[in-house]
Structure 1
Amino acid sequence: MDYECIIIGGGIAGMQAAIQLGRYEHKVLVIDAGVGRSTICGSYRNVLGWPDGISGTKLRQIGREQAQSLGVSWVTDEAIDVCSEDGHFVVHTKEQGTYKTVTLLLATGVMDRFPELPNLRSCLGSTVYVCPDCDGYEVKDKRTIVLGSGDTGANMAVTLSCWTDKMVYVNHEKLPICSELHTKLSELQIEVIAAPVEQVLCTAEGILSGIRLANGCVIAGERGFIAFGGNEVRSTLASRLRIERLENKHIVVDPRTKMTNVPHVWAAGDVCAHAEQLTIAMGEGAQAAIWIHKTIVNVRSANEDTRHHH
């Protein structure tokens, strides 16, 4: 079956694009693996209209229903390959097979790297955070534990020092910290513990109370941040189409249109190079969709002209 647009990734950027394209009444398919950064976030609190927060899974559910009500098709599957053929893009998936499209939007996102410590996932978004721009506010004046690795965790602790002076940095992987950061940490009087964590301690509601180290020692805390580095930028499909990527694997796009260097292929959300924010991902999804719409309309009229000439 042929589509006018295929969106790979049903996270925040992909959903917003799907809703916009659905409202243009285009023939759209979302291929969504069902897991992503938004699925691990228990609560987004910095979003217009949700002052008490909304979970990533809830937002995805609402967004999917909204897109489908506008006629957008949706499959839960993983896109494993994409190629260009006779002016179309062919997307191969793990289970359902192949799909053809005129335009393509990559909204495949980023996945944070963190160890699977007992209880950690249940705290993410409620009392343990990943983004200081989104959630630095949440640790204001609270006893905060930064769980991380080497310089990445040290940087996070330094960044958060403007919010709280009650902080400890647990270097779980015991990677070295550069001398410059060491100096900063000691100037800010941030305690550094280089020891592996055994488990996160929290209530059933995901309220952090502390962590237990592998040596049995318990460190109390009210809030946490994770910063391990090496997050997975999910842009492998982009490399199949020779799309320009930065060294860190983020996709390069035109700031105005969100189109990549490959015509008729766009990218939006965390897979692009920018501040990794839910509201920005939404904006980029809508922005890409507007330009995808213009392209679809142009392709349609070009096809009609060709038919008339024949």
Structure 2
Amino acid sequence: MESNQYEVIIIGGSYSGLAAAMALGRSLRKVLVIDAGKPCNRQTPHSHNFLTQDGKTPLEISSLAKQQVEAYETVSFLSDYVLSAKKSEQGFQIKTQEGDTFESLKLIFATGIRDILPDIPGLQECWGISVIHCPYCHGYEVRNEKTGILANGDFAFEFGKMITNWTKELTLYTNGKSTLTPEQTEKLISKNVPISEKKISRIIHQDGKIKTLVFQDGSRENITALYAKPDFEQSTPILSELGCALKENGYLEVDQLQRTSFPGVFACGDNINMFRSVAFAVSSGSMAGAACNKDLIDESF
């Protein structure tokens, strides 16, 4: 096999990509992991709810993971950004930002998603630190603290119900006119969850830790944490260019073995499911690597 030809190319080298690479390395497959070094959780100070790694920084976990994967001599790494992927006679052809071209029989996309955050000054700096998305990942650390939810409609109601498990000092900020039903509004208020329709003009913070919400009417409220579920998009257009199907919610459509709708293309991690956690990413990556190896075996037998 030529130096630029691989059995599997993994695009994305964070948790799910590294887990897939480990499974394939242990399966003696020639693998190339291409990663641009910008993981979705790069601002998050600590990772939680992942056995043996609870409380470690994301960089600690990924650095150790990469070190362990590098022990498998058939796995190579490239720091670059993939610009295109197209079907070729033998499988797929990849082109990178640095002008390199690689061939592979299979592709695994561990590319995550790109968050589209509300245009509120200060929110970007707090994202992943005190503006958080998941109570299972972050809720324990802000338990019983004065907390907000930035959401509206049915999601706000369901999320509001959930977060009352972690704190009783909770306010729902709809950031404009509420779209909750009268029944939802009544239920939240009966559970001591006030609903504020005031528009947020900015967030005052210190090193990403929220201090104060400032509203357009000039009023202010001090809180410790703010849950939010921003819009998102797939972090690479290559998936759409290949024709990989998306679900209605914007995540990639995969089967139980992490196969996308395009033959030979697998996906794992944050790009397939709203449950954004290190534990889930590792699990889906391990499955993608094992399933990819099984397909290669079946095709060559």
Superposition TM-score tier, normalisation by shorter sequence: 0.7 to 0.9
Normalising by the residue count of structure 1, what TM-score does the alignment of the two structures yield?
Answer: 0.82
- After alignment, is 100-109 or 161-170 more displaced? 161-170
1:262 corresponds to: 262
Match of 1:55 in 2: 57
User: What is the CA–CA distance in structure 1 between the aligned matches of 2:216 and 2:129, rounded to whole Å?
Assistant: 24
Root-mean-square deviation (CA, aligned residues, Å) is 2.7
CA 1:177/1:39 → structure 2, altered by over 3 Å: closer, same or farther? same
- Provide the residue aligned with 2:226 in structure 1: 224
Specify the code of the residue in structure 1 equivalent to 2:286. A
TM-superposed CA distance for 1:294, in Å, is 2.6
Shift of the alpha carbon at 1:86?
0.7
> In structure 1, which of residues 2, 5, 17 is the aligned counterpart of residue 5 of structure 2?
2
Partners of 1:236 and 1:11 lie apart in 2 by 19
Cα deviation 1:137-156 (Å, max 9, x = unaligned):
33432211223456544543
Cα 1:236–1:219 shift into 2, 3 Å: same
TM-score relative to the length of structure 2: 0.84
1:235 Cα offset (Å) = 6.2
Other-structure match for 1:308? none
* 1:184 aligned partner, one-letter code: K
CA distance, structure 2, for counterparts of residue 98 and residue 262 of structure 1? 21
Matches of 1:113 and 1:79, distance apart in 2? 21
- The alignment status of 1:282 with 2:285, answered yes or no, reads no
State the distance in 1 between where 2:120 and 2:21 align: 35
> How far is the alpha carbon of 1:119 from its aligned partner?
5.0
2-structure distance, mates of 1:220, 1:85? 57
Q: Distance in 1 between matches of 2:158 and 2:113?
A: 20
1:196–1:214 CA contact under 8 A, matched in 2:
yes
Give the equivalent residue in structure 2 for 1:242: 243
How far apart are the structure 1 equivalents of 2:45 and 2:99?
Answer: 30
Displacement after TM superposition at 1:124 (Å): 4.1
Structure 2: 5+ residue stretches without partners: none
Residues 96-146 of structure 1 show CA distances to partners (whole Å, capped at 9, x for unaligned) of: 332210111011112333236555455444443211343333343221122
The alpha carbon displacement at 1:209 in A equals 3.1
Aligned residues: 296
- Over 3 Å counting, the alpha-carbon distance change for 1:87 and 1:175 in structure 2 is farther
* Same amino acid, percent of matched pairs: 27
> How far is 1:175 from its partner?
5.6
Partner SS, residue 34 of structure 1:
coil
Per-residue deviation at 1:14? Answer: 0.8
Which residue number corresponds to residue 33 of structure 1?
36
- Which structure features the higher share of helix residues? 1
Distance in 2 between the 1:8 and 1:282 partners?
A: 15
2:172 paired with 1:162: no
